[in-house]
Structure 1
């Protein structure tokens, strides 16, 4: 399995789709899909249950493809690369060359 260039907690900008231009924090990454805070919101009708006694309409984020988001570094989008730092593999912002984590 290869290392993902986008990780949970990163700030990303949507570069394609109906929410193009929106920025948000990554909530989760799974199977090349990302869940971004406030992006691609859907309305879901939920049945009444023990955890949600009233039921009703719930607004939540839906996953979007990882290829439709770009990492944001210092307010600008940038590509992400990898570099070996000592004995550790780290992510690097291509535009500035600085280590992300």
Structure 2
């Protein structure tokens, strides 16, 4: 498989759906399913019954996975969504934002 365009720790912008326009950090990438988990985006509530490990029970709020196609990497320059391409700079393969030409990896 080619290099990943979206990686854990990337700042991304949601392109469509209920959370359109929101930004967040990728906390998990699932390449086989084509999904990503973004902190604070696509938050689902889960009602938990009291148990021995959690005697209080209650409502948990968890970020659910969303399709990778619904997010785009945020441009390091202005924070707007951009596509990503790969270039070789100083003998290293790096990800580059198409709009600004800025490198995304250190």
Using the size of structure 2 for normalisation, the TM-score is: 0.84
Measured after TM superposition, the shift of residue 56 of structure 1 is: 2.0
Query: Which of 65, 82, 96 is equivalent to 1:92?
Result: 96
Tell me which protein shows more strand as a share of its residues. 1
- Aligned residue for 1:47? 49
Runs of at least 5 residues in structure 1 that lack an aligned partner in the other structure? none
Q: TM-score, normalised by structure 1?
A: 0.88
Q: 1:59 aligns with which of 61, 70, 74?
A: 61
Deviation of the 1:28 alpha carbon: 0.9
CA 1:49–1:87 in structure 2 vs 1: closer, same or farther (change >3 Å)? farther
- Structure 1 runs of 4+ aligned residues shifted over 3 Å read 47-51
- RMSD over aligned Cα, in angstroms? 1.5
Q: 1:81 aligns with which of 70, 80, 85?
A: 85
Instruction: Work out the number of aligned pairs and report it.
Output: 101
Q: Can you list the C-alpha shifts for 1:32-67, whole angstroms capped at 9, x where unaligned?
A: 211111111111122334542322211111000010
